[in-house]
Chains A and B, each alone.
Chain A
Amino acid sequence: MNVVIAAASAFALGACATTGAAGSAGKDNGDTSRFAAKTEAENPFPSTYRPYPGVPTALVGATVFDGAGNRFDNGVVLFRDGAIVAAGGSDISTDGYTVIDGTGKFVTPGIIDIHSHLGDYPTPSVDAHSDGNEATAPTTPDVWAEHSVWPQDPGFSRAMANGGVTALQILPGSANLMGGRSVTLKNVPARTVQGMKFPGAPYGFKMACGENPKRVYGGRGRKPSTRMGNFAVNRQTWYEAIEYANDDDAKRDLAKETLKGVLEGEILVHNHCYRADEMALVMDMAKEVGYKVTAFHHAVEAYKIGDLLRENGVCSAIWADWYGFKMEAYDGIMENAALLQNQGACVVIHSDSANDIQRLNQEAAKAQAAGQRMGIDISDATTVQWITLNAARAMGIDGMTGSLEAGKMADVVLWNGNPLSVYSRPEKVWIDGALLYDAMDPKRRPVSDFELGQPGEGDVK
């Protein structure tokens, strides 16, 4: 059976097969089972995303932040066939490329939001659209965010046009200790979520500690109602997942398949967690169980344990200035990112908001400036890395995007000024080398199905 799965899996990846390969293959091999669902390894909801066509393009004369911490003044960025060819100084030849003059402008990689609920909590934000929290049990590792994404959410286009966002991770909400799988999307308009799925991106796994799970379930008079209850439920769930993962004959279990994927390191843990003391406990729990936390999200107190986060190799995905809205956010400070950077810990600026995703560049700039005021000098190039390569790394897609390095996807933004200024906006956005937003061309701007025929259709927004 294992051989069969491997063969079918290879077929699925290579040719994008979507029909019952596993079932028929089973018969051919003499398996007496009449029915068989595709397995996890067979990727039952494969990406159908294909890059749109582009022209070989050379951006010249602009200031380039490559996302990997480098800055090139009067730089050149070349891309063709969907991939970055080169990024660097003005000595790069542009022969054979359509040249775009970026004098006075700036170039960055596509902006990446590691924490979004677009599609799962789309606008209009009515109850019928509320698909982000399966808040019916404290742990729901079996749910997948992609099954809730509404591709017609107008928020996707705003994130592209106003924020230069080219990739984003859609997470289930934080009502549950284990909220389910995330999905990483390319920010392209599509009829189906599969048409947006980032090819080759690993799954993420949303966990939440602290106030939300205990409030949601404690409010219903059930476990967990305390932080100790949170840990108890988590640990017991992990022990059972370990048993499952160790049992070759275990009956399929969607929830435990996801947890097994986490234990195997194939699914990355994104843990909503605010308080420093609690993050430390979670890191110990991860060691106890044998998994790794990839990033703490909303980590408003991360600055208190920058050393610990650095030593454990855990990123902090944070806001610039959200604070005070809940008890565990009371110690939020604007210097959080800068203090973490100063400690050598990994910083990602995230949005968790359909509004802030449109201005992640400004959020990063605010965090940078707060650091500078306390004497922590962080370059513009490093600040841009917080919303590009660092985000990509924590999402497991840094080999493909997040910086303007040769061979990576040509996810590129041309800004009409320094992206760290409040006065700057994206002028053009390319995804895999295809021009999908152009401020100078009213038709090069997506309008979702929902917006057609409505007041303001096609407006600049």
Chain B
Amino acid sequence: MKRLLTAAAGAMALASAPAFAQDVAITNATVATGDGSEPIENGVVIVENGRIVYAGPADDRRYQTDQVIDAEGAWVTPGLFATVTTLGIWDVSAVSESNDIRAGGSPFSAALDVAPVVNPNSQHILIHRAAGITRAATTTMPSGSIFAGQGAIIDLDSDGNPIVKARAFQMVDLGEGGGRIAGGSRAAAHVLFRNALREAGSYGEAARIPGGSKSPRDTTTGDDITVDPRMVGRDTDRSSDTLLTRFDAAALVPVVRGEQKLYVAVERAADIRAALALKDEFPRLDIVLVGASEGWLVANEIAAAGVPVIADPLDALPYGFDELASTQSNIGRMKEAGVKVALNVAGMENPRRIAQQAGNLVGLAKMPGATGLTWGEAFASISSIPAEISGMGGKAGVLARGALGDVVIWTGDPLEVSSVPTRVFIGGVEQPLGNHQTRLRERYRDLDESDLPKAYDW
């Protein structure tokens, strides 16, 4: 009997895997729009043609849609936006063959591009989709050089095409880690950085690269940055390549021009100041700080520079000498100073903990002497704000007219540890929520092997 039920459920799961967007209205919901406001009781969310057309209090409109879902008071939110992840580029981190996070043996660094290697069938993507994360910034990490390579914005849907925006950002480590990689000190990292950006700045027609080619085709991989034509040309030798390969220099051209965001990984207050000062030399840099454990010490300077921050929420320990002032109040204090702050996933055990960590910042607000976030601010720090920082402001992480139809219905308050999504829509398409873990759970619901081994229990 049990096996029959399981089989039926499995067939249903397959049948319900949707292929196209259906218009949907979700009524009677507790709606959190993700924009920093507090939740709306008795709210409505309407999605048409894969986009949000309405999210707000219920009114007397009638819903001419394919589907009306009565949420029965459940929480409905935009999908969570996890930033600085490695989702989709590893299966088992300790199994090096499956792990594309780092490439210490590669001669390339800034040129590394995550877009072609994201695996939409990765179990981590399936598991995090089921945790309500609908979009993410995913990137390789620094290894052979201070430059990590070019990260992408991905969606976590099941259509086999995860890349939303390729080459969305470059990342560089100018903190302790960068110093080690650059040869042993932060000073080395800064010189390496300047050399690289100056090479990139002078890259182009004036470089008079031997063996010049005809114009390569204009290859589009994202919605606003094309593959740099110099990277697909056939003129690959350059006698002056020393610290930076031709490809790496080419990859940094949009960075120095301010066309591609530069995520700068730094923790220490002094390193943050040095990162902000880079704009004096390279005024067009579009900097985002990542880490910034001591950001609260220089919060006013960060705010004045108008630089957003992707910070670790719960770091309370001096993991290194660059994090001596770590505190869970870091994000709250930066927020108070006027800094735009999103939660950094990179330091978490797994990205699905972002909601838990945001919830902790709400709990922190009750502690005397500490600075946390309101519920609305905390939720925004894992939805609209990381989307804005990633260049998807108004498109993702928010339930607002015109935004992508990324909608999640939850069992309860999404920041509470007991809550999980019951239904997830990405771009208006309802997503399957099964994965390796849910299958294991069902197989081992009991340990009955009286008829057949567990291997037949699927």
**Cα distance A87–B362 in the bound complex, in angstroms:** 31
Known: A124-B321, A333-B441, A374-B441. A460 touches B94 (CB 8 A): no
Which of B95, B329, B364, B444 counts the most chain A CB atoms within 10 A?
B444
Task: Tell me the smallest distance from the CB of B43 to a CB of chain A, in Å.
Answer: 22
**Contact indicator A306/B94 (Cβ below 8 Å):** no
CA distance A332 to B441 in the complex (A): 10
Q: 0/1 per residue, B293-306, Cβ < 8 Å to A?
A: 01001000000000
Query: B317 touches which one: A154, A359, A366, A373 (CB < 8 A)?
Result: A154
A279-314 to B contact mask, C-beta < 8 Å, 1/0: 000000000000000000000000111110000000
B297 neighbours in A (Cβ, 8 Å): 455
> Which residues of chain B come closer than 8 Å to A322, judged between CB atoms?
349-350
Task: Give the Cβ gap from B336 to chain A, nearest Cβ, in Å.
Answer: 15
- Give the residue of A158, A416, A422, A455 whose beta carbon is less than 8 angstroms from that of B416: A422
**Minimum CB–CB distance for A343 against chain B, Å:** 7
Per-residue B-contact encoding for A424-455, CB less than 8 Å = 1, 0 else: 11000000000000011010000000110011
Interface readout for B301-329 with A: 1 if CB under 8 Å, 0 if not? 00000000000001011111101111111
The 7 closest A-B pairs by CB, nearest first: A422-B359, A456-B325, A369-B418, A455-B325, A326-B94, A423-B363, A460-B370
Q: Mark B397-425, 1 if CB is under 8 A from A, else 0.
A: 00000000000000100011111100000
A355, chain B: closest CB distance, angstroms: 7
Min distance, Cβ B120 to any Cβ of chain A, angstroms: 17
* Pair B359/A303 contact, Cβ less than 8 Å: no
Q: List 15 A-B contacts (CB under 8 A).
A: A334-B437, A339-B441, A417-B363, A422-B362, A423-B362, A423-B366, A424-B363, A425-B366, A450-B318, A455-B294, A455-B324, A460-B368, A461-B326, A461-B327, A461-B328
Contact residue among A125, A333, A368 (Cβ-Cβ distance under 8 Å from B320): A125
Q: What is the CB-to-nearest-CB distance from B327 to chain A, in angstroms, rounded to a whole number? A: 5
Cβ contact within 8 Å between B353 and A321 = yes
User: Closest A-chain residue to B122, C-beta based?
Assistant: A324
Assuming the contacts A322-B349, A422-B417, asked whether A455 and B269 have C-beta atoms less than 8 A apart, the reply is yes
Q: Are A325 and B366 CB-contacts (below 8 A) given A331-B440, A333-B437, A461-B316?
A: no
Contacts A322-B349, A372-B418 known; A123 to B327 CB distance under 8 Å?
A: no
Task: Assess whether A97 is interfacial by the CB under 8 Å rule.
Answer: no
Q: Which of B211-241 contact A (CB under 8 A)?
A: none
**Residues of B with Cβ closer than 8 Å to A?**
91-95, 123-124, 269, 294, 297, 314, 316-321, 323-329, 349-350, 352-353, 356, 359-360, 362-364, 366-370, 411, 415-420, 436-437, 440-441, 444-445, 447, 454
Contact status of A454 and B325, CB under 8 A, knowing A324-B123, A356-B349: yes
Interface residues of A (CB under 8 A from B): 123-126, 154-155, 158, 162, 211, 303-307, 321-327, 329-335, 339, 343, 353-356, 358-359, 362, 365-366, 368-369, 372-374, 416-417, 420-425, 439-440, 442, 450-451, 454-456, 459-461
**Alpha-carbon distance A162/B320, docked complex (angstroms):** 20
Residues of A within 8 A of B441 (CB): 333, 335, 339, 374
**Contact present for A369 and B417 (CB under 8 Å):** yes
A321 touches B367 (CB 8 A): no
Give complex CA distance A359, B356 in Å. 10
Contacts of A454 in B (CB 8 A): 318, 324-325
Q: Could you tell me if B317 and A423 are in contact, using CB atoms closer than 8 angstroms?
A: no
Q: Check A354 against B317 for contact (C-beta < 8 Å).
A: yes
Q: Is the CB of A440 within 8 A of B123?
A: no
Contacting residue for A416 out of B323, B366, B417, B445, CB 8 A: B366
B325 touches A327 (CB 8 A): no
Q: Which of B93, B328, B359, B416 contacts A324 (CB 8 A)?
A: B93
B92-A326 in contact (CB<8A) = yes
Tell me, in angstroms, the Cα distance from A324 to B98 when the chains sit together: 11
A422 in contact with B316 (CB, 8 Å):
no
- Cβ B359 vs Cβ A326 within 8 A: no
Q: Contact between B317 and A158 (Cβ–Cβ < 8 Å)?
A: yes
Q: How far is the CB of B9 from chain A (nearest CB, A)?
A: 13
CA distance in complex: A350, B253 (Å)? 48
Known: A125-B320, A322-B350. A425 touches B367 (CB 8 A): yes
Q: Which residue of B lies closest to A329 (CB)?
A: B92
Please indicate the chain A residues that have their CB under 8 angstroms from the CB of B356 in the complex. Answer: 362, 366, 422
Look across to chain B and name the residue whose beta carbon is closest to the beta carbon of A161: B316
A365 contacts B317, C-beta separation under 8 Å: no
**Which chain B positions have C-beta within 8 A of A324?**
91-93, 123-124, 350
Contact flag A326-B93 (CB < 8 Å), given A355-B314, A461-B327:
yes
Contact of B327 among A305, A325, A366, A456 (CB under 8 A): A456
Instruction: Check B353 against A422 for contact (C-beta < 8 Å).
Output: no
Smallest CB separation, B250 vs chain A (Å): 35
Query: A368 to B369, Cβ gap below 8 A?
Result: no
Interface centre among A325, A326, A368 (most CB of B within 10 A): A325
A89 to B92, CA, bound (A): 50
